[in-house]
Structure 1
Amino acid sequence: MPHSILLTGATGFVGGAILKRLHNEKVHAVSAVVRKESQLKAQDVPTLRIGSFDGETQWMGDLAKFDVIIHSAARVHVMNDAESDPLAAFRNVNVAGTMNLARQAAACGVRRFIFISSIKVNGEGTTPGTFYTGDDAPAPADPYGISKMEAEQGLRQLSTETGMEVVIIRPVLVYGPGVKANFLSMMRWLDKGIPLPFGAIHNNRSLVALDNLVDLVVTCIDHPAAANQTFLVSDGEDLSTTELLSKMAKALKKPARLVPVPSWVLQCGAAMLGKKALSQRLCGSLQVDITKTRTLLGWTPPVSVEEALAATALHFREHQ
């Protein structure tokens, strides 16, 4: 059944991919939230313009025409945050902004609110042989994760009070065409043939291809079993840092020059340089169990790791 959808964060990495899928398929009528009239104008997408996104944004009348909201806008996690009070900055957008939108959506009769959260609500890492699930007690360790947890809690309470269905999706690290940050840096290193000291890292990391995340979001638009559930999402194939670099180099058609430096040496060096968080991402494990996502929704990641890395590498080569 076609739905009228409002998408926030439509100019971002994840939101942009969701918009492209919905706009191309033309099954649902999708409108995108923008801050400037020029944004998305060339894509011929109906837009809803707002001046800012926070706890004071006025939405009301504009929301009555939609029955589903996909909320991917957020103040995202950044390394070395320059804010004097990062938690307050995250709360202003990720909690106050989200709850303000959700309350007004419920008042206007929006049926379902899909919230793109983060695996950071679960925590920063798992021990060997253990996996995060959507039903674990939250254990966020940084301001971003705390803000996402608080938004989730507020949305669940609002759903109980109003009957608006809430769907929460917690992605792990998302990669795909146009990826930025550390993943892009990794591709640049491999493309230049720089020897990297990551040839002996035996961790396990869950990742999710952008297309797989988007497919799950689209599935949750109208799947009856998605209502008021929390889903973790990954590719269903966990990799060590060494394996990821090797596969990415192959996708880039470059040799993987990986030097087998023990992970404990890397972690000690990173700690001395004040890069402990980065070493955790490179050497530590973070695995998720997506059994609930698979069984409750009958969902399977449609894109393999190899296919997703090939698409990511192709985009990288075309835009260098």
Structure 2
Amino acid sequence: MKIIYITGVSGFVGQNLQKHLSNQSYVIEPILLRNPNWKNNLNGNAIVHLAGKAHDTRKINNSSEYFEVNTDLTKNLFDVFLESEIKDFIYFSSVKAAADNVSDILYEDIKPNPKTPYGQSKLKAEEYILSKEIPEDKRVFIIRPCMIHGPGNKGNLNLLFNVVKKGIPYPLKSFKNERSFLSIDNLNFLVKQILDNKDVPSGIYNFSDDEVLSTNEVVKIICSVLNKKDNSIAVPKKLINCMGKIGDFIKIPLNSESIQKLTENYRVSNLKIKKAIGIEKLPNTAQQGLEKTIKSFTNK
């Protein structure tokens, strides 16, 4: 019997990972870090640390909250792991701990330079983990996932879906970009491979789908799933940027940050993790993953 402790099990990733691993004969035990007794009787095979404070696009949170949750709680949990008999520690950080913007392709060996409290708090937790001497019989993984999606997912994909569903022309066709996504199915697959394959060495690993897609291609996929015509229009970039600044003040979905997310390049390499587990391709293509996510929106 393999016992896996998971923090953040009530979140989107946690719920999906719990279900996936349970179906693969793992026993899942939640760790509730807000419970003062969470340190008692930890005696399993691995800890998957998902709990954290997510990036706040509305920018209403105090920056100290990120460090209290993402950094300090991770330090406490990791210290307990080091003192325990548990063999594997999988910490879900973020690509935003490495870089807010990516001009080329993001690899694991980049010198991290996060600009936001979210990314900085994640990096501080990474640095603490890396500063510790790891016993030879233990493994420690720092996972940097890019944008995760799947059935039940919210965020910019849902925003795009509603734009297409309502017949509103997508106005950012003039922006040409390439970005990486990560389907929840591929994430679940990779975590299980790490848990099952004891030859996978400790280290930092990016998680992403194999292919990159432009936002224009994502809109086309949504149109295809909904059987709608692609009404995208190429509004001049200067006008779009002005609209974004207006959105910053009157709090509409189209603001400077959402425009950046929809139009930026953010390509993430997953070659290191695939080499470590001995595969050439992940089970699901980026398009297959997005189609599954988008179809889930139509069932609401």
User: Does TM, normalized by the shorter one, top 0.5?
Assistant: yes
SS in 1 for 2:70: helix
CA spacing shift, 1:301–1:17, aligned 2, 3 Å: same
Distance 2:194 2:98 in 1: 21
- Give the letter for the 1:158 counterpart: K
Structure 1 residue 284: Cα displacement = 1.4
Distance 1:259 1:33 in 2: 48
Alpha-carbon distance between aligned partners in 2 of 1:183 and 1:282, rounded to the nearest angstrom: 9
Aligned match of 1:152 in 108, 126, 138?
126
Give the root-mean-square deviation of aligned CA atoms.
Answer: 2.0
Query: Matched residues in 2 for 1:252 and 1:116: separation?
Result: 33
Kindly indicate whether the alpha-carbon contact (under 8 Å) linking 1:251 and 1:309 is maintained by their aligned counterparts in 2.
Answer: no
CA deviation string 1:274-315 (max 9, x = no partner):
333222212211111222122122243211223222221221
Within-5 A mapping of 1:304-315: 304-315=285-296
The question of 1:185 aligning with 2:159 is answered: yes
For residues 240 and 143 of structure 1, what CA distance do their matches in structure 2 show?
27
8 Å Cα contact 1:207-1:234 kept in structure 2:
yes
* Structure 1: distance between partners of 2:59 and 2:37: 28
Distance in structure 2 (CA, Å) of the matches to 1:271 and 1:221: 46
Instruction: Show the 5 A alignment for 1:68-217.
Output: 68-83=46-61, 85-86=62-63, 88-127=64-103, 130-160=104-134, 164-217=138-191
Post-superposition offset of 1:273: 4.0
Q: Equivalent of 2:274, from 286, 289, 294?
A: 294
Q: Report which stretch shifted further, 228-237 or 140-149.
A: 228-237
Deviations 1:36-89 (A, max 9, x none): xxxxxxxxxxxxxx5x16xxx4433321x2120011111111112322x32x10
5+ residue gaps, structure 1, are: 35-49
Find the counterpart in structure 2 of residue 33 from structure 1: 31
Against the structure 1 CA distance between its residues 169 and 286, is the aligned structure 2 distance closer, same or farther, given a 3 Å change threshold? Answer: same
Other-structure match for 1:20 = 19
Q: Which secondary structure does the structure 1 equivalent of 2:109 belong to?
A: coil
Q: Does 1:224 align with 2:198?
A: yes
- Structure 1 residues 264 and 241: alpha-carbon distance in aligned structure 2, compared to 1, 3 A threshold: farther
The aligned length equals 293
Corresponding residue SS for 2:268: coil
- Asked if 1:276 corresponds to 2:275, the answer is no
Asked if the contact 1:200/1:262 (under 8 Å) is kept, the reply is: yes
Please give the secondary structure, in 2, of the residue aligned with 1:61: coil
Whether the 8 Å CA contact 2:178–2:265 is kept in 1: the answer is: yes
Residue number among 265, 273, 277 corresponding to 1:285 in the alignment:
265
Whole-angstrom CA distance in 2 between matches of 1:243 and 1:264: 22
Q: Distance in 2 between matches of 1:157 and 1:219?
A: 26
Change (3 A) 1:189 1:162: same
Q: After superposition, where does 1:36-55 map in structure 2 within 5 Å?
A: 52=34
Q: Which is worse superposed, 256-265 or 237-246?
A: 256-265
Secondary structure of the 1:213 match is helix
Map of 1:40 onto structure 2: none
Q: What is the one-letter code of the residue matched to 1:278? A: S
Corresponding letter in the other structure for 1:125: N
**Conserved 8 A contact 1:8-1:32:** yes
2:27 alignment partner AA: A
Amino acid of the residue matched to residue 117 of structure 1? S
Query: Identity over aligned residues, as a percent?
Result: 28
- Please tell me the residue identity of whatever aligns with 2:59: D
Distance 2:285 2:220 in 1: 16
Distance 2:234 2:130 in 1: 46
TM-score between the two structures when normalised by the length of structure 2: 0.91
Matched residue type, 2:68 = N
Deviates more, 1:91-100 or 1:310-319: 310-319
Decide whether the 8 Å contact of 1:201 with 1:240 is kept in 2. no
User: What stretches of structure 2 of length at least 5 have no aligned partner?
Assistant: 249-254
